[in-house]
Amino acid sequence: MPAERYTRWVPVVAVLDPPAWRARERAHAERAHALTAAHRDRRLRGERHPVEDFLWTYYSVKPSELARWHPGAAVRLAGASDRAAWKHYRAAGGGDASVAGGGDASVAAELDLRAFFERRGGTVDYVERLLEATLSRPPRFGCFGLHEWAMVYRLTPEQVRHAMLPLRIGHEATDRVVESHPISCSHFDAYRFFTADAAPLNELRPTRETQPETEQSGCLHAGMDVYKWAAKLGPIIPGELLLDAFVLARDIREVDMRASPYDVSAYAGADGRPLAAVAIETAAGKREYAHLQRGFAARGDALRRRVLDAIALARAAAPGASGVTSRACRPSDTHEK
């Protein structure tokens, strides 16, 4: 990063005693288990859920990983000798983690930020660049979720990705919706699944390389991906933030499929109610979609700021750090839960 973007900042290390951090760890695990219970039960029964399964197949985070709590950077956990032997952790003060893992109750644990940045620095740089760029440009609310329609355009029933789901208005009518609307998908990981006939209809040509230049927070998939980026940053992301990002991804995924050409009414959402269609082929459906889209953009931007704050804190707390970005010296006070 350019040197002029840095100002000096040395974070204060928070020391949590065992009752305090174990309570947070326990609360995190309980919340994670509640969020993943339905998925774990279905997996035991061998059942599929074409809406929620996406969160576990497209995003490669296991329920057990989601349940593991991390405090984030600049936090020292007293009486945490076992944790000192975890990957990306160390005994506070640079002690021997292999010895610390023996159960010495006097040992405190903290993130080994030097080792973390040596291994994951490139990922951190990319995520920081992408999220800052996304926040820098205005969201767009005119796509109406047509990316899902473009993914089935001119396919036979056997070729459709979710063949177990019927199309709400049939194949021919679905094709007409695609043909009668402008397609303006800005997200590469949605655009790359367009059918061969639909791809040329898109007004944009997003690529992996141009993702930081095209990502915008009105995109539902970009909102879901905040969870992906938080997960990729591992232990520098506080567990509470990771679960908040998962909840946003889950909520967006439901609307993504409700607004798709698929009939998902046979499946229930997180609130237990059937997933009712957002009929974006109608004027009322477009209004509903744009309203939901605005809410997701606001929630996603709040989470992006929290992720950037976590990155800035980790950079500042790392041994030998010269400072953090001036933006992150003023941590966001928007901590949406």
pLDDT tens column, 14-49: 999 999 999 999 999 999 999 999 999 999 999 999
Q: Assign 3-class secondary structure to 120-140.
A: HHHHHHHHHHHHHHHHHCCCC
Report the alpha-carbon distance of residue 331 to residue 305 in Å, rounded. Answer: 8
- Taking all residues of the chain, what is their mean pLDDT, rounded to a whole number? 90
Q: What angle do CA 207, 212, 216 make, to 5 degrees?
A: 95
Q: Residue 213 is encoded by which pair of tokens?
A: 């230049």
Question: What is the pLDDT, as a whole number, of residue 106?
Answer: 76
β-bridge mates for residue 142, sequence order: none
Q: Which amino acid is residue 114, in one-letter code?
A: R
Tens of pLDDT, residue by residue over 179-218, are 999 999 999 999 999 999 999 999 999 999 999 999 999 9
Q: Residue 80 is encoded by which pair of tokens?
A: 């945490």
Report the alpha-carbon distance of residue 90 to residue 141 in Å, rounded. Answer: 46
Question: What is the pLDDT, as a whole number, of residue 327?
Answer: 39
Q: Where does the pLDDT of residue 105 fall: very low under 50, low under 70, confident under 90, or very high at 90 and above?
A: low
Report the alpha-carbon distance of residue 191 to residue 177 in Å, rounded. Answer: 17
β-bridge mates for residue 77, sequence order: 16, 109
- How many CB atoms within 10 Å of residue 47? 11
First and final C-alpha spacing in the chain? 30
